[in-house]
Every structure is written in structure tokens, then in C-alpha cells.
Amino acid sequence: MKAAVVREFGEALQVEEIPAPVPAPDEVLVQVEACGVCHSDLHLADGDWPQLAKIIKKPLILGHEVIGRVMDRGSAVTRPEPGERVGVPWIHWTCGKCELCREGCENLCLAQMITGATVDGGYAEFIKAKASHVVQVPESLDSIEAAPLFCAGVTVYRAIKNAGIRPGQRVAVFGIGGLGHLAVQIAAQRGARVIAIDIAPEKLDLALSLGAEKAFDASADDVRKEFRALGGAHFALVTSAAKVAYESAFTSLRRGGTLVVVGVPAEPLSIPVIAMVGAETRILSSSVGTREDLRETLEWAAAGKIRCRVEARPLDQINQIFDTMRRGTIFGRVVLKM
């Protein structure tokens, strides 16, 4: 099969022919139809997360927003059926036995396996996955449009759900990229007054078309002053991987507001503790989502509440796609079409 392989961190991916995987007794073999290109893939390829270096396999096939059809299954698998369309998310497998799994927080399981990081992912024509952890895709959803929901979609869905955002509250979304343009839609659907912040005019226009009430250009507007005039944000959700976005988001909050951490910068954040304590600022982080979160996200998409803006590209162009991501000029989400 054809696959894009990471041989060394910081080097171009090698698109090459390798043997197709063979499913174990508890696995299914999926013929990939579509795989979203996530910013996390770029971080992994560039070796930006040294704390994960010890567990990332090499050589590695990236990709954790995978949709395809079940072509074969192991001897112990009864479901899903051959031909069924399923998705393979970031969380490849969890133990189901630890305290966190039993409490419904499988996304925090310490034994978890990660698609496209600790096991091979979907930048390939075939992928094997645990039958217990693939998720059925509603037939009404197009594979190309639905693929990013398996990470970008479920990540912001869980973050907004866990934040407890209520109708009428002001929600600032910093970074209107692959995650941010979905966050705008989800927050707006929950009745929030959404304010979008980015440096690209076309992304701000997109946010307004998706339900944002206001949009600020971070490179031209005095964002702190603009939010002060509004009374501050109840929630500032950062989907950008830029440290400066977090600094701006923190100052946008009203007293008692919540900073929602979603985007993962390569460098540590610096939060002024005195200001945080004085304003009783809360910080809430969110790590992808559980299978239940994912099913809910797909239900929202099937109902037409959210829709991912996508651009389909062939696997051979993955290195050019990564270069575009480094420049920050991708509009929506790029999906590899096999």
C-alpha cells in the first residue's frame, strides 16, 4: 500500500510503498477513504513535543482523523461488519478498567494507545484499528467533510460542553482555523454570543458567516480594549497554537472568566498568577474526547448543526500541505483523499 512515513523528526515525510497491515484477532482492517491533516500531525513530524518522544513510534504513519470501510476483521471481532463505514480517532484504544475509564474519562487513560503517534495512523491506503474503539459514521455525512470531526470537531465539542457555556454568555474564540471555525459554530448553536479573533481577514469573514456576532483583527485592533468595552469574555477558548494568542485571550476575560485551553503551543505558557488570583480566573483544559463525545459530535453534524470547511488533497502532496500549515495560511481543514 502507499503511505506517508515519518522516518526522522524534522525531515520531509517519505511517500512510499509498504506492506499493508494485518489485523490482530481484536482488530479490523479499514480501507481509508479520507484522513484529516491535524496541526498535531505537524508537531509530531517536526518533533515539537519532546515529552512524547519516548512513546512515539518510528518509523510512523501519521493521521488520526480517519474514515474508511471495514475490509477485513480479526477472528474475535463480531462488529463492525465488513463494508461498514467507520472512523478511527486520536484515541486508538483505552484499557476500560482503570479508575478514569470507569468514570467515563477514557480520554485520560494512562494506558491509552494513540492513532498516528504510538501506532500507525491514516496517511495510508489501509489502517488497522481496535474494533472496540472505531466509531460508526452516519451515512448522511460525507467522508471528506466528516473526517476532521474525529479530532478537531470532538476536541472543541468536549471543551465547550465541559466549560458549561450558557446562552447569552460572551465566548471569545482565538484562532479561526480547523478547530476554531468549528468552535464558533458549536458555541453559537449553544446560544453563546461569539467573538472571533484572528489575523486573517478571510478567516474573520468566515467566522461571521458561521454565527459569530463580532470579529476582531488581532494584528490591527486593540483586542484588550475591545473586550473591555464589551464587559469582557465569560470564556476565552484558544484553538491557536500561538503563545501570543493565550496572552491576548487571558486579557480578554472578565473577572471570574474562564480560559479554555485547546491549542497546544510548542513552548510553555506564562500566566500572571497575581492577575489570575485577583480576578478569580479559571483555567480549563480539554483533551480530545471520548467515544461518547465523538458520537454526539457526529450527531450534531448529521443534524446540520455544524459543518467543516474542507479542502481535499492527494496523499502525495502531504509535504506541501505541511509547509502551508507552517505558514498559517490554511483556510478550514485539509483532508487527504485516498
Q: Residue 21: which residues within 8 A CB-CB, separation 6 or more? A: 29, 120, 126, 127, 128
Q: Examine the domain organization and report whether 94 and 181 are in the same domain.
A: no
**Is residue 215 a contact partner of residue 207, using CB atoms and an 8 Å limit?**
yes
48 pLDDT band, cuts 50/70/90, is: confident
Which CATH number fits the domain that encloses residue 181?
Answer: 3.40.50.720
Q: Which of 106, 249, 125, 271 is nearest to 175 (CA)?
A: 249
Q: Determine the Cα–Cα distance for residues 23 and 165; give it in Å rounded to an integer.
A: 42
Q: Examine the domain organization and report whether 257 and 118 are in the same domain.
A: no
Structural domains of the chain, count: 2
Q: Examine the domain organization and report whether 89 and 45 are in the same domain.
A: yes
Sequence-ordered alpha helix ranges (H) in the chain: 39-46, 99-102, 143-146, 152-163, 180-189, 201-209, 223-230, 243-252, 273-278, 291-302, 318-327
Q: Examine the domain organization and report whether 12 and 62 are in the same domain.
A: yes
User: What pTM does this model have?
Assistant: 0.94
Domain containing 218 equals 153-285
Q: Examine the domain organization and report whether 332 and 279 are in the same domain.
A: no
What value does the mean pLDDT take over residues 37-56?
A: 86
Which CATH number fits the domain that encloses residue 93?
Answer: 3.90.180.10
Q: Examine the domain organization and report whether 238 and 258 are in the same domain.
A: yes
The model's pLDDT over 208-243, given as tens digits with 9 standing for 90+, comes to 999 999 999 999 889 999 999 999 999 999 999 888
